[in-house]
Amino acid sequence: MSTFGTHFRVTTFGESHCKGVGCVIDGCPPGLALTEDDIQPQLTRRRPGQSNLTTPRDEKDRVTILSGTEFGHTLGTPIGLTVPNQDQRPHDYTETDLFPRPSHADWTYLLKYGLKASSGGGRASARETIGRVAAGAVAEKFLKEAYGTEFIAFVSSVGKVAMPFIEEQSETGVPSEEFVEMLSTVTREQIDAEATRCPDKEISKKMTQRIIDAKEANDSIGGTVTCVIRNVPTGLGEPCFDKLEAKLAHAMLSIPATKAFEIGSGFGGTQVPGHLHNDAWVQKTGRKGQKFLGTKTNFSGGIQGGISNGENIYFRIGFKSPATISQEQQTTSYGGVEGVLATRGRHDPCVVPRATPIVEAMAALVIMDAVMIQLARHGAASLLPPMPETPLRPAPFIMSVPGGQAIKVDETSKPKTE
């Protein structure tokens, strides 16, 4: 389906070579200050033609808000966002009329729908993610203003060239203290300073060369993107089937070219005994001096029992090498005749540098939807007579950011910040 979310619902539309792409957002709270300037930066970070490491397709990806706002604020009604396609070249895809591209979606779309877009990747193209990024920017702004939540994604490996923490974890099974500290401090400015979107300058140089080598060979290479979500409200996630990590995995694996997802210690954590892997509870002091429970380590990745515990949420996504390459490939036509496919077109030799804002956007959509669900639950509960307080049930609250602000429900069931 083309719709994601339950309370904050996003429907994307458009194909790679149609007149335009975009999305409709349903469920955005009213009163959020919102203009195109709030959305454009993330689309600009995603757009093609940024450097010699990406596809040369020249799209400006300028967004227009069609509906859902007035005088620069959201109305609470559906928000329509659109971005025109301006640099399509359908004639570059005539070969795919005869041959389905190896490892691409040409054949499977034909099997499912009985026809497919005649050029480009249709809905399987990364152009579809423009709607996701636009909607994610709206969700991200709300969460930043309401809770101070931040979404930071960066390239952690290209091929076998990887940031040191990946090799370190392969040896120890758990993330290092240096890596966990970096997750708390790394910024988008540091990440965007490198064309690879890797904040480690020395590793970035090696990644750049690896991508250039693939490009010059008319080939492609894959990589991984690591994402951290900071200042996450507690209590998010819907056990048992919509646990927060399950929703994040769903979101990330819906992005084109993704092949793997791990959260917290991930697969490395399977090698570590429980007494070393368990995150012990400790009392921490917040920015305003208040005491709260946190974890000494964060191998869980900020989620336990499918519910956010207030620590940083971090995860890593694996992206395969792009399927469309300009080498001749021995394959078979739609009619079953063996032949050679030599594709043209303009394609990324590696998708991970441009994938970082897509990952951030999908993470923001997951957290935004979870926040809306939790607010609805506690808003409804606030209409009931209060239950007596017990040591295991303190005064009711909706959610809080440890060390930051708490959101409570008053007698009118409207959230307020304290």
Catalytic residue, from 277, 348, 369, 378: name it.
348
How many residues are given for the chain? 418
Closest CA to 39 of 78, 84, 82: 82
Between CA 326 and CA 118 the distance in angstroms is 19
In sequence order, what are the residues at sequence separation of 6 or more whose Cβ sits closer than 8 angstroms to the Cβ of residue 189? none
Cis peptide before 240 (omega within 30 of 0): yes
Between CA 296 and CA 278 the distance in angstroms is 9
Between CA 377 and CA 237 the distance in angstroms is 12
348 is catalytic: yes
Between CA 107 and CA 121 the distance in angstroms is 11
Amino acid at position 322, single letter: P
Between CA 43 and CA 106 the distance in angstroms is 26
Catalytic residue, from 17, 277, 347, 378: name it.
17
Q: Are 284 and 294 in contact (CB under 8 A)?
A: yes
Between CA 87 and CA 154 the distance in angstroms is 28
17 is catalytic: yes
Catalytic residue, from 7, 73, 104, 250: name it.
104
91 is catalytic: no
Closest CA to 219 of 51, 349, 110: 349
Angle at 315 between CA 133 and CA 408, to 5 degrees: 75
Question: Which residues carry out catalysis?
Answer: 17, 104, 348
